[in-house]
């Protein structure tokens, strides 16, 4: 199975990626992991990326594309892969299509996790993190006994800056502007499968596997 996972921030892509990669016995490839590996190993691409990051700039598509292309040459991908966080725009989607076409290993599907914005804002803005042990709580879904303290260790709970409502709204705007067009791109390619990403984690995983069974 060669699969791309798309969806807005807070849709649960990281969680579903773990379950799906385990189910299909394929590596879960996130752009974050690729970046960290290149930086840790001090590769030429990693050093290039670091120079942009150190100066506070976004790593350009050209560098990201080369890192992903390099990762796709590795032996552990013989049975497929699950890409999470790439492609982020239509240009990257076209690069991925060209690379896979050259290898004669086209994508099987692009799975879109669809959640409405109001639910995402509730999911993310309700998160509270323990300063001491790092456990995540939620004001609606997993309430601690004391709203300001962690049940596990008694540490102080706080809201991350990127979980504040105005920040989440901005992230959703950026997603709509930059990433949502790839949904239309893959729909045109006949690869898009959309599932509702609301409900329990296990329900969403079941929904995903059932939808993907039509192509695999």
Tell me which residues are annotated as active site.
Answer: 13, 88, 127, 160, 171
Secondary structure letter of residue 106 according to DSSP: -
Exposed / middle / buried, residue 23 (Cβ in 10 Å: 0-12, 13-18, 19+): middle
Spatial separation of the C-alpha atoms in residues 10 and 14, rounded to whole Å: 9
Token pair, residue 106, equals 């086209």
Spatial separation of the C-alpha atoms in residues 213 and 26, rounded to whole Å: 15
Strand residue runs (E) in 145-210 = 157-158, 192-196
Sheet of 127-130: strand order equals: 136-138, 127-130, 157-158
How many other CB atoms are found less than 10 A from the CB of residue 145? 7
Spatial separation of the C-alpha atoms in residues 96 and 86, rounded to whole Å: 9
- In sequence order, the 6+-apart residues with CB closer than 8 A to the CB of 6 are 13, 110, 111, 112, 113, 179, 182, 183, 186
């Amino acid at each position: 199975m060669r699969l791309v996972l798309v969806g807005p921030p807070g849709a649960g892509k990281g969680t579903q990626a773990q379950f799906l990669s385990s189910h299909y016995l394929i590596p879960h490839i996130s752009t974050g992991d690729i970046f960290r590996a290149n930086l840790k190993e001090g590769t030429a691409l990693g050093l290039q990326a670091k120079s942009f990051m150190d100066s506070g700039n976004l790593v350009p598509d050209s560098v990201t594309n080369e890192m992903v292309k390099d990762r796709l040459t590795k032996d552990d991908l013989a049975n497929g892969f699950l890409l999470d966080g790439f492609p982020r725009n239509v240009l990257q989607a076209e690069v991925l299509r060209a690379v896979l076409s050259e290898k004669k290993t086209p994508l099987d599907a692009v799975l879109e996790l669809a959640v409405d914005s109001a639910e995402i804002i509730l999911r993310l803005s309700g998160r509270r993190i323990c300063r001491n042990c790092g456990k995540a709580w939620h004001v609606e879904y997993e309430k601690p006994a004391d709203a300001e303290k962690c049940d596990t260790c008694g540490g102080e709970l706080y809201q991350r800056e990127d979980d504040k409502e105005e920040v989440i709204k901005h992230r959703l705007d950026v997603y709509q502007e930059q990433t949502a067009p790839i949904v239309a791109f893959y729909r045109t390619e006949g690869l898009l499968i959309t599932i509702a990403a609301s409900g329990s984690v296990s329900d969403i995983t079941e929904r995903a596997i059932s939808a993907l069974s039509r192509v695999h």
